[in-house]
Amino acid sequence: MANQKIALVTGGNKGIGFEIVRGLLQAGCRVYLGAREAAKGQQAVAELADAGDVRFLEVDLANQATLEAAAAHLRREEGHLDILVNNAGINVPGDGSPVNADVRSVEQALQTNFLGTLAVTQAFLPLVKQAAAGRIVNVSSPLGSLTIVGQHDWALLGYSASKAALNMLTVQLAFELKDTGIKVNSAAPGYTATDLNGFEGSDTPAQGAAEAIRLALLPTEGPTGTMSSSEGVLPW
């Protein structure tokens, strides 16, 4: 299909990422499922094979060589990238309140969730710029909102700080690309039952994926530089 959208979803082998891949396949996209472990990525691709054209791509946020190799592969195979969904992220043991959080754990959360996502974005942005109307979606969290966290007793300093930094990437990149057809937004899945929280969330992964899918498929008149959930725009 000449007009088929090409998408890449990082951390696509499980949880919310897996459902984002499924949703984009159902929307008719060809989806590259990014995962750092080949066996798990290939297994996820096999599970989704009946849903559409899905392909595995090694993407490890902590390994720059995999990002460069993946970008080179997409450049050869597709020549552009319509949709980049930065979904991969971690929750680190030892994270906690500012009083008791392990500094190394906070550093690890920032390294993966923010710096790793920045590295992915920089690696694939040239391909997104080649698309007719690129979309970049950063999977964030209400825990990355200074306004919302200020009203709750949520003591995960590293994770919250990493998602707040990710939101800053959304805002600054959206502004930098405002004169292009590219839209950059943060999607907040909500309290979703995944291994990130010990499967304690109240929403299903499919529910958690819905907003990222919507933002990935935004029409021309859609917003840029926002954070939203399925309930609407959220404050920074």
* pLDDT block averages, 10 residues each, the chain of length 236: 88 96 98 97 98 98 97 98 97 95 98 98 98 97 94 91 98 97 94 60 84 97 97 95
Has residue 230 been placed in a domain?
yes
For the chain, how many structural domains are there in total?
1
Asked whether residue 126 is assigned to any structural domain, the reply reads yes
Q: Which domain holds residue 110?
A: 6-234
CB < 8 Å & 24+ apart, contacts of 222-226: 222/183, 223/183, 223/185, 224/174, 224/177, 224/178, 224/182, 224/183, 224/184, 224/185, 225/170, 225/171, 225/174, 225/175, 225/178, 225/184, 225/185, 226/170, 226/185, 226/186
**What local confidence, expressed as pLDDT, does residue 203 receive?**
77
Residue 44 lies in a domain: yes
Which parts of 78-228 fold into alpha helices (H)? 103-109, 117-128, 146-149, 157-176, 205-216
Is position 1 within any domain? no
Give dist(CA 98, CA 76) in Å, integer. Answer: 46
E strands along 21-90, which residues? 30-35, 54-58, 83-86
Q: Which of 159, 173, 186, 213 is catalytic?
A: 159
- What pLDDT sits at residue 154? 84
Provide the CATH number for the domain around residue 103.
Answer: 3.40.50.720
Give the tokens for residue 221: 């008149």
Please give the pLDDT value at position 155.
Answer: 87
Which pLDDT score, from 0 to 100, does residue 146 have?
95
191 part of the active site: no
